[in-house]
Amino acid sequence: MPKVTIDGISIEVPDGTTILQAARMIGERNKADRHVVPPAMCYYSSLKTSGGYCRTCIVKVTKGSDKDPRPMPKPVASCRTAVMDGMEVANTTDPALIDARNGVVEMLLINHPLDCPICDQAGECHLQDLSYENGKSESRYEFERRTFDPIDIGDTIKLHMTRCILCYRCVKVGEQLTDGRVHGVINRGDVAEISTYIQQAIDNDFSGNMIDVCPVGALTDKTFRFASRVWFTNPVDAHRDCENPKCSGKVVLWMKGNEVLRVTGRKDQWGEVESFICNTCRFDRKDVNAWTVEGPRKIDRHSVISQGHYQLKREQALLTSPAPNVPELAKRKELKDR
Amino acid sequence: MGRKLLFEHITKPGIRGLEGYRANGGYRSVEKALRTLSPEAVLEEVKKSGLRGRGGAGFPTGMKWSFLAKPEGVPRYLVVNADESEPGTFKDRYLMERIPHLLVEGMITSSFALGANTSYVYVRGEYFYVARILEQAIAEARAAGWLGKNILGSGFDHDIHVQVGAGAYICGEETALLESLEGKRGNPRIKPPFPAVKGLYDCPTVVNNVETIAAVVPIVNEGGEEYAKIGIGRSTGTKLISAGGNIKRPGVYEIDLGITCDEFINSDEYCGGVDGRAFKAVVPGGSSVPIVPYELFLKTPTGEDRLMTYESLSDGGFAQGTMLGSGGFYAYNDAQCIVRSTWNHARFYHHESCGQCSPCREGTGWMEKVLHRLEHGEGRMEDIELLWDIQRKIEGNTICPLGDAAAWPVASAIRHFRDEFEYHVTHREKVKDPKHFAREPFRKSAKFATA
C-alpha cells in the first residue's frame, strides 16, 4: 500500500489510487482535513477516462516517491496522476500553485457569461463554488465574450453552450451510459462546442444524467427550467422500484409544497451522483405518490440550498414556541391555517 | 564544409526513383541490418550514435526505442511523424519530396530494430502531394521486395502505410497524432501512459520524426560510433535546418551539429548574411522556441561563441538562451516589428489550440487579442504586464506542450524587446502603419542596449 502525504497529512491508499482520490480519502477520514482536496471540475469518479481537461485540480508534487525523490517539474493533474509510495504533494501549501490555480479559474471565467441571476444552476453550480473559493473578485478580461445560441439537444435537455467549460463529462456519459453517443465536441480551440450533429438527436433512457454531471448550467432540465430557484425548493430523498434494471431508482425529489418540481440523482459530498437514474424516473414521475419518500435530504450547511431547511425549522419552532410575540402569533395562525 | 549524410545524393538525377536511389547505395542499411545484424545490435548502434529526436524535443532516440514495451502477442508499431507543422520548418518536406526512399529505408531498418511489422507515416494535410510521392516510393519498394513478407529471406515482414492528416498543428503532438491516426478527433492524450506502453490502438508504439528515422540509415551503414564523431558533446551527427526570413540564401541546409552560429548565419555556404539591412533577432528552432536578439544568438551570456548544438543554443536558460527545436530557423532584420511577429505567432497558436484544456483554450485567444490591440496602436502600458501574466499562467499548466509553445514566444519577446512593446504604447499613431519599422527602424533605448 503506497503512502502519500498531501499538505503534510499522510494516508495509505491502494495501488493505482490517484492523488485526487487519496486527498478525498483524507477528507472522508476527517472532515477537518477537507482543505487538502483539490477542486475538480471535469473529473467524475464513476465515469472512466474523465478528468485531466479543466486543470483546476493541479497540484505540485514536491517529492516523486521514496525510490525517486525528485520533484515533478510542472504541476500535475491530480485526478490523472497515480500516487507512488512516499510521494509528497503540496496543494494549499504552495503559493505558486495557488497562483497557478487562480490562473486556471480566471481562464475558465473569461468567456463565461456570469449570468448566474438567470441561470438554473445557480446555487448548485460547481463553477460558482470554484470561483468563490479559488478565484479573484475582479476580471482583467475586457474583450467581448464568446457566445452561442441555446439549443435543444434531445426533447428534455437544453444546452447553453455559452456557459460550458468543456469538461467532457456529458460526452463520457454518452459514451458509457447510453447505447451510442450522438453528441460530442465539434470545432476546436476557443470555439469548440458540445453539440449534436442533428438537433434533438439525443433520445436515450439515460441521457438525463448529462444534466446531473454538468458542473455548470450548460445542460439544464427542460421540465424544470425557470420553475424555481433551487434554494426555494425542499429536497427529499425518495426511491421507487424502477422497471429499468440499470436504474437504481434512488433519487432526490425537489419539492415545493406537495409538488415535485424536479427529480435528480443523489449527489455525494464531492458533488457526484451516487448512482445514475433513468429518464423515466427523472422526467416522467413528477407525482409524489409515485415515490416512497425517505426523508429530508441532508444538505451541507454551507450550501445556499440549506436555507429551505432552516426556514422549515424556524416555522416548527414558531409553532411550538411557549411565548410568541404579536407578529409571531399572527404567523403561527397563518401556518396553522395552511 | 561539413559531411552530408542525408543529402549526399539529393541532387543526383533520378534519386527520387528506386533505380536511382539504389544506384547511389540505397537500401544498404536494410541489407546490412537484416542479413548481418540482430534487432538488438541495430538498437545498440542507434544508442551509440547518440542520435537525438529531430522533431524538436531532442530526446535520445536509442533511449526512446529501449523504452518500448514488448509484451507477448501484442503488435508493436512505428509511426513516423511527418506532420511538419511548426511555422518556419520545412526540412522534412524537402527530404520526402527529393529522396523519399531514404525515409522508406529508414523505416524498414528501424522497424526491424523495434520488431514492428507495420509502420505508418502520418503526413500533414497540406503535404498531400508528398503523400503521393511516398506512396509511389513505397509501391516501388514493395514491388522490388524491400517491403512485404520475408524481406531478403530474413523472415522479417514489414509494410508501410501512408496516412494524410487534415492539417491541424496539434496533430504533430505525438499522442494527438495517434488519436488522429486511429480516426478520432486529434486531441492529445493525457500522459502517462506514454506511447511506448500504450500507443496506437493501445499497443506499444514509437513515434519519431522523419529526419530521425532517415538518420538511422547512415548510422547503420557506417556504425553508431562513426556517426557520433560528428558533432560536439551530446549533440551528435548532422541536422537539417530550414532557414528563412531576412537572409540572403534561404533553404534547407544539412549542418554538422557544432558549427558556430556566426558561421551558419553569415557564411556564404549557409544563410549568407542579412538581406541588406541589419539583423535584429533570430528564432533558431521553429516558432515555439524563444526569440533571441541577434547579439545573444551569436554569443552565449558568458561571451563565448554560440554553437548550433542542443546545449549551446539553450545555454543561458530561458532568460538568455533559446532552443534548437525542430530546426525551423528564421532571422529578422531591423525592418521587422517584433510585436507584430509575436502577435502573428499568438494568432497561430490561438487558431491551432485544440480546446481540450482550459488554460490553452482560453489563454491563447486572450493573448492574441491583447497583442492585436498593442500592435494596432490601441494598447496600454498595463497590457505588457498582463501579457506576461497570461503566458505565465498557461506555461506548464496544460496537457500537451502546445500551451508552452504558445507562451514561450510571448515571454521571450517581452523579455528581450520590452522597449518595442513600450514604443507601441507611446507611439500609437506611428504603429498604426503596418510597415512602421520598415520606414523608420526601431532604435534600442540605452536602457536595453546591453540586455
Residue at B168 is within a domain = yes
Whether the pLDDT of residue B1 is over 60: the answer is no
Instruction: Give the Å distances, CA to CA, from B221 to A127, B17, B32, B217, B226.
Output: 59, 20, 7, 6, 10
Q: Please tell me the distance in Å from A39's CA to the nearest CA on chain B.
A: 14
Q: Please tell me the distance in Å from B382's CA to the nearest CA on chain A.
A: 11
Domain boundary among B333, B365, B399: B333
Residue at A243 is within a domain = yes
Same domain, A162 and A257: no
Cβ–Cβ of A190/B353 closer than 8 Å? Answer: yes
Same domain, A235 and A277: yes
User: How many domains does the structure of chain A reveal?
Assistant: 4
Cβ–Cβ of A189/B356 closer than 8 Å? Answer: no
Q: Residue A166: which of B355, B366, B398 has the nearest Cβ? A: B355
Question: Dihedral of CA B219/B224/B226/B229: which sign?
Answer: positive
Chain B residue nearest residue A112, CA to CA:
B362
Same domain, A164 and A201: yes
Whether the pLDDT of residue B192 is over 70: the answer is yes
d(CA B323, CA B276) in angstroms, rounded, equals: 27
Same domain, B130 and B244: no
In one-letter notation, the amino acid at residue B150 is N
Q: Which one, of B62, B61, B76, B78, lies nearest residue B177 by Cα?
A: B78
Residue at A249 is within a domain = yes
Cβ–Cβ of A53/B356 closer than 8 Å? Answer: yes
Compute the average pLDDT of residues B133-141. Answer: 97
Same domain, A97 and A157: no
- A75 vs B contacts (CB less than 8 Å): 396-397
Tens-place pLDDT, residues B147-164:
999 999 999 999 999 999
Tens-place pLDDT, residues B174-185:
999 999 999 999
Best A188, A191, A194 member to test B by mutation, with max B CBs in 10 Å, is: A188
Residue at B13 is within a domain = no
Q: Which residue has the cell 529471406?
A: B153
Same domain, A217 and A117: yes
Say what the pLDDT of residue B66 is.
96
Tell me the CATH number at B365: 1.20.1440.230
Say what the pLDDT of residue A198 is.
75
Cβ–Cβ of A166/B386 closer than 8 Å? Answer: no
Cβ–Cβ of A103/B397 closer than 8 Å? Answer: yes
Cβ–Cβ of A108/B358 closer than 8 Å? Answer: yes
- B355 vs A contacts (CB less than 8 Å): 166, 185, 187-192
Grid cell, residue A214, equals 454538468
Q: Please tell me the distance in Å from B53's CA to the nearest CA on chain A.
A: 21
Say what the pLDDT of residue B449 is.
45
**A-B C-beta contacts closer than 8 Å:** 93
Tens-place pLDDT, residues B327-381:
999 999 999 999 999 999 999 999 999 999 999 999 999 999 999 999 999 999 9
Q: Please tell me the distance in Å from B372's CA to the nearest CA on chain A.
A: 12
Say what the pLDDT of residue A308 is.
65
Same domain, B329 and B360: no
Residue at B325 is within a domain = yes
Domain boundary among B333, B350, B371: B333
Same domain, B164 and B60: yes
Identify the domain containing residue A328 by its residue range: 306-338
Same domain, A77 and A124: no
Say what the pLDDT of residue B439 is.
85
Say what the pLDDT of residue A306 is.
79
Cβ–Cβ of A75/B350 closer than 8 Å? Answer: no
Cβ–Cβ of B357/A53 closer than 8 Å? Answer: yes
Domain boundary among A53, A79, A103: A103
Tell me the CATH number at B310: 3.10.20.600
Tell me the CATH number at B201: 3.40.50.11540
Tell me which of A152 and B43 has the higher pLDDT: B43
Tens-place pLDDT, residues B376-408:
999 999 999 999 999 999 999 999 999 999 999
Cβ–Cβ of A55/B168 closer than 8 Å? Answer: no
Same domain, B56 and B162: yes
Residue at B11 is within a domain = no
Same domain, A124 and A201: yes
Domain boundary among B207, B229, B251: B229
Tens-place pLDDT, residues A193-227:
999 877 767 888 899 999 999 999 999 999 999 99
Q: What pTM was estimated for this model as a whole?
A: 0.91
Chain A residue nearest residue B385, CA to CA:
A140
- A16 vs B contacts (CB less than 8 Å): none
Whether the pLDDT of residue B451 is over 60: the answer is no
Whether the pLDDT of residue B423 is over 80: the answer is yes
Identify the domain containing residue B212 by its residue range: 18-229
Same domain, A96 and A77: yes
- B407 vs A contacts (CB less than 8 Å): none
Q: Residue A74: which of B168, B354, B396 has the nearest Cβ? A: B396
- B362 vs A contacts (CB less than 8 Å): 107-108, 110-111, 190
Whether the pLDDT of residue B448 is over 80: the answer is no
Best A107, A109, A172, A186 member to test B by mutation, with max B CBs in 10 Å, is: A107
Residue at A181 is within a domain = yes
Tell me the CATH number at A136: 3.30.70.20
Same domain, B355 and B419: yes
Residue at B29 is within a domain = yes
Chain A residue nearest residue B365, CA to CA:
A190
Q: Please tell me the distance in Å from B450's CA to the nearest CA on chain A.
A: 31
Whether the pLDDT of residue B450 is over 70: the answer is no
> Which H, E and C letters describe chain B, residue by residue?
CCCCCCCCCCCCCCCCCHHHHHHCCCCHHHHHHHHHCCHHHHHHHHHHHCCECCCCCCCEHHHHHHCCCCCCCCCCEEEEEECCCCCCCCHHHHHHHHCHHHHHHHHHHHHHHHCCCEEEEEECHHHHHHHHHHHHHHHHHHHCCCCEEEECCCCEEEEEEEEECCCCHHHHCHHHHHHHHCCCCCCCCCCCCCCCCCCHHHCCEEEEEHHHHHHHHHHHHHCHHHHHCCEECCEECEEEEEEEECECCCEEEEEECCCEHHHHHHCCCCCCCECCCCEEEEECCCCCCCCEEHHHHHECCCCCECECCHHHHCCCHHHHCCCCCCCEEEEEECCCCHHHHHHHHHHHHHHHCCCCCHHHHHHHHHHHHHHHHHHCCCCCHHHHHHHHHHHHHHCCCCCCCHHHHHHHHHHHHHHHHHHHHHHHHHCHHHHCCCCHHHHCCCCCCCCCCCC
- A140 vs B contacts (CB less than 8 Å): 386
Tens-place pLDDT, residues B283-317:
999 999 999 999 999 999 999 999 999 999 999 88
Name residues of chain A where pLDDT drops below 70: 200, 308-314, 323
d(CA A162, CA A140) in angstroms, rounded, equals: 19
Q: Residue A189: which of B361, B392, B398 has the nearest Cβ? A: B361
Same domain, A153 and A214: yes
Cβ–Cβ of B397/A74 closer than 8 Å? Answer: yes
